[in-house]
Structure 1
Amino acid sequence: TALEEDGGIRLNWTHPGEGGRWAVLRSYDEFGLIEDTIAFTSATTWFDPDGLEYPGSKAFYRIVPWEPDEVPNVTVGIEDFEGATLELETYDEDRDLDPVWGLIEGGSFGEPGQHVAFAGDTWKMQTLDFPIQLDTEMIWAVDVMSDPTSRMQMIGFGDGNDEMWYVLWGQYAPNTDSLIWTYQGWFPEEEWFSINLPVGEDWHGRFGNNPQIDRIFYVNDSSDDDDQGVFRLDNLRDATGAQPNRPSIDFDWQWIDHQNPDSIIVQFENWSLDSDSDSLSFLWSFGDGTTSIIEHPRHTYPIGGEWPVTLHVADGYDRWDFLTQTLSNGLITQQRGNFSIGCVGDVILARGIISRINDQGQDAIFSGVRDILDPLDLRFANFECPITTSSDGHPTKGILFKARPQDTNIISDAGFQFVTLANNHSSDYMEEGLLETQRLLDEHGVAWGGAGMNDIAARQPLLMNYNRMKLGIVSMCNRDGHYNNYQPFLDAARDRPGFALWNRTGIEATVGLQDSVDLLMYQVHCGSEYSFYPRDGDSVGADSTTGEVEIDDPYVIFELQPDSGEVALRHYAIDMGADLVICHHPHVIQGVEVYNGKFIAHSLGNFVFDLSYNETMPSMMATINIGDDDVEGVSITPIWIEDDLPVVPTGEFARAILDYITHYSLILNTHLVRPPDEEIAYVQFDTTYSRDEVVGARQVALFTHDNDLKRTAPQFLNWEGYVS
């Protein structure tokens, strides 16, 4: 149907199937000799504001299905395991103890041909006749089956100097940087799977080069007699040319008259397409801190502004891209930048917090910090629990969090515009729980990032525009569960869901966003739990975690120093182009650091969390003040967790927490300045004129005898603090 509406034409149509996209064609010629494509849409309605543009003329419309092309299947064979022989040699005599292998009739997925099978304790190496030059975009694929699993079943690649291994199945989860275990435990046994391996980016992230690969490793490790499995492989190939395309993004807009002289309405028209997918999702950032997931949204702006508008589009294969265009209306009176971002640590609405909600109401969760949250322009947090009704929990994790869908509005009502889902609890209820969480956050207008149905989706940045500045947020995590052998592990891969993995590979794959935004922030869930400041001497990437602990576990050991390799990785992100690195996970606060002029919060601690260790009660909020081009300053507000909920301490209590943060920041060569009349500390970016000052004092203290010890009562000092 075509009906007049608001000075234009409203089109409505029906179709027998579900989903799909439509092209809306318009002609002023009844024979359709000259047609204009005026829209692409997944809806079954469209408003054409120009349908009555030519008085006396009729507009004729056609609605036609838009059909995507097939994904090209352009692969280059590396090893198909066909032929009478396969030349393999022993990889390591100390490991190749009971080799059993051979070429087996029947290809993968029931196809004709052959595949190779390894059993026993077999470590073999194949030397390639023609080495293959790697590049960072290269993706290899292989068909694999565990029939059933062994101690470890792996495929690896080498260049004569370095080696990189993918662990696909196995009960054993060793901790070494040369092993990639993201698929381990994900795929069922006794079934063929085709797995994509991003060998190019994985290799460069570990070794920093693009070599020629000249050898392949095959392993079925059955060191334990109880783990006698068979590892089957077929069709190892270069699948770089068989990957889906990214969407092609375009949009324009129309100004719509509005009766309010101080504002104007804009109708956005989305022209985005994808050559091989008709399923598209959208995220608009309107330039004023608000977002929308509607395909063709309307938005109201005040007069006299300039607004960078970003449209982010993802297709059915989770490939994505974005486009930013700038709108302006009238004389620009709006300042560039000059806004604040408040970043806080771990927030859950699960476990003991549910009791707080039931007893005190939803408003109580953030009531103790409303006075510091409300003045902020933007508010970001780590949201560390799925919101779901699913009962399909992770099969091996000991601690599972789950929030109730009816409590989702607590996050939006507190004004949080963005939460990161890149953490070790976002997949507590597996794929179903993650998808439900994302859907509920979308419905409540809270943007999210850091987790998805594969690693490409999980690495998608959140693009948020505010006051004529473009902010890019990448969320990542490295607490993947391998340290406790929580299979399946929690990080996403090319063919499985999870969070975006925080490592050099992940940084290199995302840091190029710096060229498209004014500020690039990494929100990272990383480090060892219950650790206070960086320890020297650890190797980069080493893992010193104690793992997850039960609430109120009396045997928790509070490490004073987390892995300094973590600090090196955060520095690497800054060196590669990040402007801000905001970290959480240890449940305790750590010092802040200015590194090469950029700000790093090493751990913000908890914010809404039901731990009862004294060490986890102090917390903080980092307020990042944006100037007209860059970070203008950062202030630290002390927080105290009182009965699981955040409150703002005052007086000596607040100053004691700030003293604590100041002390651990000095270890990182970073100074905090606190004016005498404020209970906030300011990070000093320029230390050119800083100086250390030693103050001497003498005070009479009376000793009391306690057996063989002499003690004094705590002595109040003339400056802030105590000594005893």
Structure 2
Amino acid sequence: MTVAAVGDMIFDRQVKALIHAAGGEAPLARVAEHLAAADYTCGNLESPLSDGGTRAKGKEICFRGDPRGVAGLELAGFDAVSIANNHALDYGSEALDDTVAALDERGIAHSGAGADRDAAWAPAVTQVGSATVAYLAFSHILPPGFVANDTRAGIAQGRNNMDRVAAAVASAAAEYDYVIVSFHWGIEYVDDANAEQVRDARRAIDAGADLVMAHHPHVLQGVERYKNGLIAYSLGDFVFDHYSRKTGEAFILDIELGPGGAGATAVTPVYLDQYGRPDVVTGQAASTILKRLKSVSAKHDTEVVIDGDLATVAQ
């Protein structure tokens, strides 16, 4: 089974302007064929998809994405998205409900936020051929009032809650063929994963996850082969307007999953334009991205092998 994984996606600000001008499929149109070719595609939906709700009080940056953006997710073949992040409730439970409804209508599974704790923690389960895939999403970035409880809508808490996370992963691993864990974590604009990220990612693999795919720093961080699993500490942004060359650099990770865990893994470099729209790059732009990924991955004793405009993760 092939898995394509990407990072943070918003459908607000300049991305929303693009949608207004060119339609909901436009943000992902240039990479849709690549993503849809995988058996399973996942990423982080960083903005609610809604025209309603009330802006969170006292929160400096709030996103509310154009609901038409879901058409781009469908075009690109997304099977599941994380909604466990620090923007899921930027416009309250009403906008979160709208987001869930929009995803459900298009058949895109989701994990990490919901009407209460049980909904937020429920794995997104997808049948892929003869295999079952469980996708679980958690956030280490926890704005006040965003964590779901028994009576409050919100997100699934990862930070300082790894006993529960590990138990959820182990339960999923016992029931489903493959388990993918999404974490929203780390420090923004920092190239290296911190000790908390490394510890918690490895614990998720130890509990039974095959892949840990993470995001939030807005820059790429390293990948690591750990036991039979694969960790991407930050996939960077993917559909996101940005303010610097570095925050526009990201990658698509294509992984072969089998009974032995994470196998052959390919890296495709992408760059985001002024509208936050990703496109595959070549030449010097590709080289810059791949060399950075190689450098930060070496710190996790994992080799990224560059071959022209693409790369692989050594086994």
- The answer to whether the superposition gives a TM-score over 0.5 is yes
SS of the residue corresponding to residue 443 of structure 1 reads: helix
The answer to whether 1:652 aligns with 2:302 is no
8 Å Cα contact 2:166/2:203 also seen in 1? no
For residue 627 of structure 1, report the CA deviation from its aligned partner. Answer: 3.4
8 Å Cα contact 2:187/2:217 also seen in 1? yes
Output the CA distance in 1 between the equivalents of 2:210 and 2:89.
29
Output the CA distance in 2 between the equivalents of 1:531 and 1:479.
15
Cα deviation code 1:209-245 (max 9, x no counterpart) = xxxxxxxxxxxxxxxxxxxxxxxxxxxxxxxxxxxxx
1:523 corresponds, among 178, 182, 185, to: 182
The answer to whether 1:683 aligns with 2:305 is no
The answer to whether 1:401 aligns with 2:60 is no
The code of the aligned residue for 1:354 comes to K
8 Å Cα contact 2:26/2:72 also seen in 1? no
SS of the residue corresponding to residue 397 of structure 1 reads: coil
Residue in 2 aligned with 1:446?
108
Residue in 2 aligned with 1:496?
152
For residue 399 of structure 1, report the CA deviation from its aligned partner. Answer: 1.1
Q: Gaps (5+ residues) in structure 1?
A: 1-338, 482-486, 535-562, 686-724
| TM-score with structure 2 setting the length | 0.93
2:164 corresponds, among 489, 500, 506, to: 506
- Equivalent runs, 1:322-361 vs 2, <5 Å: 339-361=1-23
The code of the aligned residue for 1:497 comes to A
Output the CA distance in 1 between the equivalents of 2:273 and 2:108.
26
Output the CA distance in 2 between the equivalents of 1:354 and 1:497.
26
SS of the residue corresponding to residue 231 of structure 2 reads: strand
Cα deviation code 1:572-612 (max 9, x no counterpart) = 11122222111000000001011123100000000010121
Output the CA distance in 1 between the equivalents of 2:68 and 2:263.
39
8 Å Cα contact 2:19/2:68 also seen in 1? no
Residue in 1 aligned with 2:273?
642
1:367 corresponds, among 29, 49, 64, to: 29
For residue 501 of structure 1, report the CA deviation from its aligned partner. Answer: 0.7
The answer to whether 1:617 aligns with 2:276 is no
SS of the residue corresponding to residue 507 of structure 1 reads: helix
| Number of corresponding residues | 311
Q: Which has the higher helix share?
A: 2
Distance 1:495 1:412, change over 3 A: same
| TM-score with structure 1 setting the length | 0.42
The answer to whether 1:603 aligns with 2:265 is no
8 Å Cα contact 2:31/2:280 also seen in 1? yes
The answer to whether 1:566 aligns with 2:197 is yes
SS of the residue corresponding to residue 104 of structure 2 reads: helix
The code of the aligned residue for 2:146 comes to L
The code of the aligned residue for 1:370 comes to A
The code of the aligned residue for 1:522 comes to V
Residue in 1 aligned with 2:223?
592
Output the CA distance in 2 between the equivalents of 1:374 and 1:495.
37
Cα deviation code 1:50-102 (max 9, x no counterpart) = xxxxxxxxxxxxxxxxxxxxxxxxxxxxxxxxxxxxxxxxxxxxxxxxxxxxx
- Equivalent runs, 1:69-80 vs 2, <5 Å: none
Output the CA distance in 2 between the equivalents of 1:359 and 1:669.
45
- Equivalent runs, 1:130-209 vs 2, <5 Å: none
For residue 629 of structure 1, report the CA deviation from its aligned partner. Answer: 5.3
Output the CA distance in 1 between the equivalents of 2:215 and 2:53.
27
Output the CA distance in 1 between the equivalents of 2:257 and 2:204.
20
Output the CA distance in 2 between the equivalents of 1:410 and 1:618.
20
Distance 1:493 1:436, change over 3 A: same
Residue in 1 aligned with 2:99?
437
Runs of 4+ in structure 1 over 6 Å off: none
The code of the aligned residue for 1:347 comes to M
The code of the aligned residue for 1:672 comes to V
Question: Which is worse superposed, 375-384 or 587-596?
Answer: 375-384
The code of the aligned residue for 2:164 comes to G
Cα deviation code 1:154-177 (max 9, x no counterpart) = xxxxxxxxxxxxxxxxxxxxxxxx
Output the CA distance in 2 between the equivalents of 1:471 and 1:612.
36
SS of the residue corresponding to residue 5 of structure 2 reads: strand
Output the CA distance in 2 between the equivalents of 1:626 and 1:515.
17
Distance 1:363 1:507, change over 3 A: closer
Residue in 1 aligned with 2:191?
532
Greater radius of gyration (CA): 1
Residue in 2 aligned with 1:425?
87
- Equivalent runs, 1:297-308 vs 2, <5 Å: none
Distance 1:407 1:370, change over 3 A: closer
Q: Gaps (5+ residues) in structure 2?
A: none
8 Å Cα contact 1:393/1:428 also seen in 2? yes
SS of the residue corresponding to residue 264 of structure 2 reads: strand
SS of the residue corresponding to residue 493 of structure 1 reads: coil
The code of the aligned residue for 1:651 comes to G
The code of the aligned residue for 2:173 comes to Q
The code of the aligned residue for 1:447 comes to A
Query: With CA pairs under 8 Å and 6+ residues apart, which has the higher RCO, 1 or 2?
Result: 2
Residue in 2 aligned with 1:575?
206
Cα deviation code 1:598-654 (max 9, x no counterpart) = 100000000010121222011011111123553322111111112121111112321
Output the CA distance in 2 between the equivalents of 1:364 and 1:390.
23
Output the CA distance in 2 between the equivalents of 1:595 and 1:406.
38
The answer to whether 1:479 aligns with 2:141 is yes
SS of the residue corresponding to residue 583 of structure 1 reads: strand
Output the CA distance in 2 between the equivalents of 1:474 and 1:363.
26
The answer to whether 1:666 aligns with 2:298 is yes
The code of the aligned residue for 2:63 comes to F
Identity %: 32
Output the CA distance in 2 between the equivalents of 1:569 and 1:391.
33
Output the CA distance in 1 between the equivalents of 2:261 and 2:137.
20
RMSD: 1.7
Cα deviation code 1:476-505 (max 9, x no counterpart) = 111102xxxxx3x21112232211111313
Output the CA distance in 2 between the equivalents of 1:351 and 1:653.
25
SS of the residue corresponding to residue 408 of structure 1 reads: helix
Q: Which has the higher strand share?
A: 1
SS of the residue corresponding to residue 431 of structure 1 reads: helix
Residue in 2 aligned with 1:468?
130
Output the CA distance in 1 between the equivalents of 2:102 and 2:42.
17
For residue 514 of structure 1, report the CA deviation from its aligned partner. Answer: 0.9
SS of the residue corresponding to residue 674 of structure 1 reads: strand
SS of the residue corresponding to residue 435 of structure 1 reads: helix
8 Å Cα contact 1:518/1:629 also seen in 2? no
Output the CA distance in 2 between the equivalents of 1:404 and 1:370.
19
